[in-house]
């Protein structure tokens, strides 16, 4: 006679992702209690012991993890922080973000993390429709940014990876032509720039290059209907988005050729929750719920994250997709914080203020970032008012303006248009520093 | 009773690399006859049939392969050329070089080629003394250049790979400090630049950063005693070189901590010959023979190369090394052609001329590259005389000067200092275009 357990296996032969999630979640909690000082302390403070976490239902009892905590943890125990749960010897790669204050935050991965990432990156490509015979030109940065890990995924899928990087548009175009490449990875703003570049320098219409697919990321622009329509009509190809998070994984969501939002491709590695960013409550499930995306890793070694607040505002779609994939889809519709995204690079107003502050006492440190567009996506050059101290000569002012611009480019990777304004001319606010001013 | 073959195995249990080479060489020749149109034609022209190649001794009967042939093959059958012997579907990555004429040459790799490269890259790191607990900051380009494949080798070895790329010195320094990194990969000229950068911007002596090892490549400077001494004394660390070839493999030679030349680490994948570049004859074996390095791949799928002329002049050392490794060592002592290396990028004078030619009829196309140092290693900005056509206004001249400089930066990745000279002022030579002029 069959045991109850065996019966269950025979009667429900299908693998349920919820079962996998439940098992891995328990293993991850074990791992965290063993290896992460940060979470041991955090759980202790919240009065949570190991035995309080028995099923996936207990997840909602656990406290959120905030990016600020990760930063503070890295400041307290540099470089990786007390939340990091792997020995340096087992870490095979370290990525860094631009950080909010010019000081980067680091994300390490072990060999297992690397495998999980690579598998998810390959799935993202497959979901887009990329196959072994696809030729993929990669025109995004291949450096410290976490997105450069896409290399591994494209190669694991077995497509042809043609790395170019940034700042070599001629080579991008030439590679597309020479290999009759069908796929281009880039930021949405680069897609627009490159269309002009092709027209101007090659006397060709971009659509003549024959691209079939552009996978855009690094900026949310690819999700804006008007941006997408423009790119698609210029290039006569499909534009698809992929989305991830520098702390969790380069990509977790990927659009299929139906282009109705990004499918979640990481259910065996990450649990998603959608919460009300104000109350922290889980948003009641519905076909088109909206809220902040929250991640919990369930098999992460170096950077375990429990209920990590992404600050990404998303709209979730759980209706069936014509492509046949059953996973839910989402679109990113904004941010819950004041982060700006300039040509694919995350920049916080506080980081800009920090850079300006480093020029005290020549400046008072007061700034105002002028936003011509609705954030987070803004285009350089970014107009920036900087208050100068009284008594600077004209020559000193000229030098200061140049130096601030150079420092912003060097530390935060964007071009600013600095206008110096006299001491005291920027209004002060009692409660909270006001760093931005809307022009739109 | 034991068969003769089995006897041999028992009596000579040690694996001989020559046996591996002999077997793989035969398999490679089979593969080439099956898959490479280029070599089938080349061998036919040379009157060589499959049965003429029976042992390693027959290698020297085979004709050389020249870079120009690879280029012509890619021009004839773009993009990869008739010498490429793998289907695009099986190619997982394509690297490109700057090329001699602004037009890049491409090198594809299959999954097997990728594995062979990665294994050799890991060996290079191991030979340097890099181990699983090493923290490696990578400050070289991660893009189209073949050297960016080093990522795979460092990660396979299991050291911690900290990718930075170029143009982010602040981040390089910060990473070294934050992770107490012990290894830095960069070009020799960048090592010198970074020392000044650290002093100027951090008020520290470079040696305070605590690096133990710099692996320098992309330029031959690391082999020059005075360059190396300077870097080593600034940084108080060992400087080691690694060397490869864009067409064959990112690295095949690697220095050990004894620093007495680079060990050959690829004997199971590549056969080296040292020839007299004038006569093509193999240089008689001796402890310190000199000549041009010639490569034959013995298990290459996408780009098989038989007796490939590298144009690298090397000095070989076959005496025992104190590190215990038995493989021969070499140093690169020059080039047999006129290639320049500017900040790690290969540039041929003919490519510079091609760029200038694209501005005809405003220029006559005549140029003179002024060499302040002995090539191939030269520092930017590169002084360049460009002959202009008669009748250009001052304004047109100003624009032309800027445009040529921009085009050189854009297409060949270096900074030139263009001086316009009047039509007919550069002496002509009947036999051969003279593109360079020595100032040293």
Report helix, strand or coil for A2: coil
On average, the pLDDT of chain B sits at 90
Q: Span B389-418, mean pLDDT? A: 92
Q: Is the pLDDT of residue B5 over 80?
A: no
More confident residue, B275 or A409: B275
Distance from first CA to last CA of chain A, Å, rounded? 73
B160 → closest Cβ in A93, A135, A151: A93
The pLDDT score that the predictor gives to residue B430 is: 55
Beta bridge partners of A272: A295
CA atoms within 13 A on the CB side of A352: 30
Contact present, B152 and B117 (Cβ < 8 Å): yes
pLDDT confidence band for B98 (50 / 70 / 90): low
Residues 6+ apart with CB under 8 A from A433: A353
- DSSP 8-state secondary structure symbol assigned to residue A375: S
CB A65 within 8 A of CB A308: yes
Q: For position B359, what pLDDT does the model report?
A: 92
Q: Which residues of A touch B79 (CB under 8 A)?
A: 178-179
Contact B164 A141 (CB under 8 A): no
- Alpha helices (H) in B180-224, listed in sequence order: 188-202
Contact B111 A135 (CB under 8 A): no
Check: CB of residue A313 under 8 Å from CB of residue A336.
Answer: yes
**B422-429 own/partner pairs: CB under 8 Å, 24+ apart:** B422/B387, B422/B388, B422/B390, B423/B364, B423/B387, B423/B388, B423/B389, B423/B390, B424/B364, B424/B387, B425/B387, B426/B366, B426/B367, B426/B368, B426/B385, B426/B387, B428/B366
Contact B106 A79 (CB under 8 A): no
Q: How confident is the model at residue B224 (pLDDT cuts 50, 70, 90)?
A: confident
Of chain B, the percentage scoring pLDDT greater than 90 comes to 70
What per-residue confidence (pLDDT) applies to A100? 46
Contact A176, B91 (CB under 8 A): no
- Cβ distance B174 to A111 less than 8 Å, yes or no, reads no
Closest CB to A155 among B93, B162, B411: B93
The whole-number average pLDDT for the span B167-175 is 91
Strands A345-347 and A290-297: unpaired
Give me the residue from A93, A96, A174 closest to B155, CB to CB. A93
Facing residue for A148 by CB, picked from B91, B160, B163? B163
Residues of A in contact with B163 (CB under 8 A): 93, 95, 142-144, 148
pLDDT at B287: 83
Q: What is the largest CA-CA distance in chain A?
A: 94
Tokens 């409660």, residue? A431
In CATH terms, the superfamily for domain A109-337 is ANL, N-terminal domain (3.40.50.12780)
> Which residues in chain A touch residue B88, judged by CB atoms under 8 angstroms apart?
133, 135, 160, 179
pLDDT of residue B99: 52
Q: What is the pLDDT of residue A319?
A: 93
Instruction: Count CB neighbours of B8 within 10 A.
Output: 11
CA distance readout (Å), B107 to A161, B97, B241, B270? 12, 8, 23, 16
Mutual orientation of helices B169-179 and B188-202 as an angle, nearest 10°?
80
Cα B146 to Cα B249: distance, rounded to the nearest angstrom: 8
A to B CB pairs, distance under 8 Å: 109
CB contact under 8 A, A179 and B79: yes
> Residues of A with CB below 8 A from B89's CB?
132-133
Whether B32 and B49 have beta carbons less than 8 Å apart is answered as no
Which residues of A touch chain B, with CB atoms under 8 Å apart? 78-79, 88-89, 91-96, 103-104, 106, 108, 111, 114, 132-133, 135, 141-144, 148, 151, 155, 158-165, 168, 170-171, 174-175, 178-179, 410-411
Q: pLDDT tens-digit profile of B339-372?
A: 888 887 778 887 888 889 889 899 998 899 999 8
Could you please state the CATH topology (level 3) that the domain comprising A345-438 is classified under: GMP Synthetase; Chain A, domain 3 (3.30.300)
Span(s) in chain A for CATH 3.30.300.30: 345-438
Q: What's the rounded mean pLDDT across residues B255-276?
A: 96
* Residue appearing with tokens 């040690």: B14
pLDDT band at B12 (very low <50, low <70, confident <90, very high): low
B182 Cα to chain A: minimum distance (Å):
13
Kindly determine whether residue B171 and residue A144, on different chains, have CB atoms separated by under 8 Å: yes
Residue B98 CB neighbours (<10 A): 23
* Ranges in chain B annotated CATH 3.40.50.12780: 15-336
Query: Chain A residue closest to B159 (CA)?
Result: A92
Contacts of B117 in chain A (CB under 8 A): none
When scoring B81, B92, B117 by the number of chain A Cβ atoms within 10 A, the one with the most, hence best to mutate, is B92
What pLDDT was estimated at residue B100?
Answer: 46
* Architecture category of domain B15-336 in CATH: 3-Layer(aba) Sandwich (3.40)
Residues of chain A with pLDDT under 50: 100
Q: Kindly tell me the burial class for residue B267, based on how many C-beta atoms sit within 10 Å of its own C-beta (0-12, 13-18, 19 or more).
A: middle
- Contact call for A88 and B148, based on CB within 8 A: no
Q: How many CB atoms lie within 10 A of CB B173?
A: 21
Q: Do B142 and A163 touch (CB under 8 A)?
A: yes
What are the residues whose beta carbons fall under 8 Å from the beta carbon of A322, sequence distance 6 or more?
Answer: A258, A260
């Amino acid at each position: 006679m069959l045991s109850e357990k065996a019966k269950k296996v025979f009667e429900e032969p299908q693998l349920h992702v919820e079962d996998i999630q439940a098992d891995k979640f328990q293993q991850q909690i074990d791992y965290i209690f063993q290896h992460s000082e940060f979470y041991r302390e955090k759980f202790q403070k919240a009065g949570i012991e190991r035995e309080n976490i028995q099923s996936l239902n207990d997840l909602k009892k656990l406290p959120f993890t905030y990016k600020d905590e990760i930063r503070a943890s890295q400041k307290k125990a540099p470089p990786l922080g007390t939340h990091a749960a792997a020995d340096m010897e087992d870490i095979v790669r370290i990525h860094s973000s631009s950080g909010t204050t010019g000081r980067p935050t680091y994300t390490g991965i072990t060999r297992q993390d690397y495998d999980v990432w690579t598998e998810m990156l390959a799935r993202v490509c497959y979901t887009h429709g990329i196959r072994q015979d696809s030729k993929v030109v990669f025109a995004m940065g291949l450096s410290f940014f976490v997105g450069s890990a896409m290399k591994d995924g494209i190669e694991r899928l077995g497509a042809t990876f043609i790395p170019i990087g940034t700042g070599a548009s001629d080579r991008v175009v030439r590679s597309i032509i020479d290999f009759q490449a069908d796929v281009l990875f880039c930021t949405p703003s680069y897609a627009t720039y490159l269309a002009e570049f092709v027209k101007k320098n090659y006397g060709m219409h971009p659509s003549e290059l024959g691209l079939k697919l552009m996978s855009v990321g690094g900026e949310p622009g690819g999700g804006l209907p008007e941006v997408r329509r423009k790119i698609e009509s210029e290039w006569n190809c499909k534009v698809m988005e992929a989305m991830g998070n520098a702390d969790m994984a380069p990509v977790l969501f990927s659009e299929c050729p139906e282009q109705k939002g990004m499918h979640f491709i990481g259910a065996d590695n990450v649990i998603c929750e959608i919460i009300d960013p104000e109350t922290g409550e889980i948003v009641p499930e519905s076909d088109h719920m909206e809220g902040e995306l929250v991640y919990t890793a369930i098999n992460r070694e170096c950077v375990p994250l429990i209920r990590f607040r992404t600050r990404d505002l998303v709209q979730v779609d759980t209706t069936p997709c014509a492509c046949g994939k059953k996973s839910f889809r989402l679109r990113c519709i904004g941010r819950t914080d004041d982060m700006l995204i300039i040509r694919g690079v995350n920049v916080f107003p506080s980081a800009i203020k920090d850079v300006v502050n480093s020029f005290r006492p020549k400046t008072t440190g007061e700034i105002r970032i002028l936003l011509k567009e609705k954030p987070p996506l803004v285009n350089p050059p970014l107009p920036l008012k900087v208050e100068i101290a009284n008594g600077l000569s004209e020559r000193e002012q000229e030098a200061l303006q140049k130096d601030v611009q150079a420092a912003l480019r060097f530390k935060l990777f964007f071009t600013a248009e600095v206008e110096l304004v006299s001491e005291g001319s920027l209004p002060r606010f009692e409660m909270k520093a006001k760093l931005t001013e809307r022009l739109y």
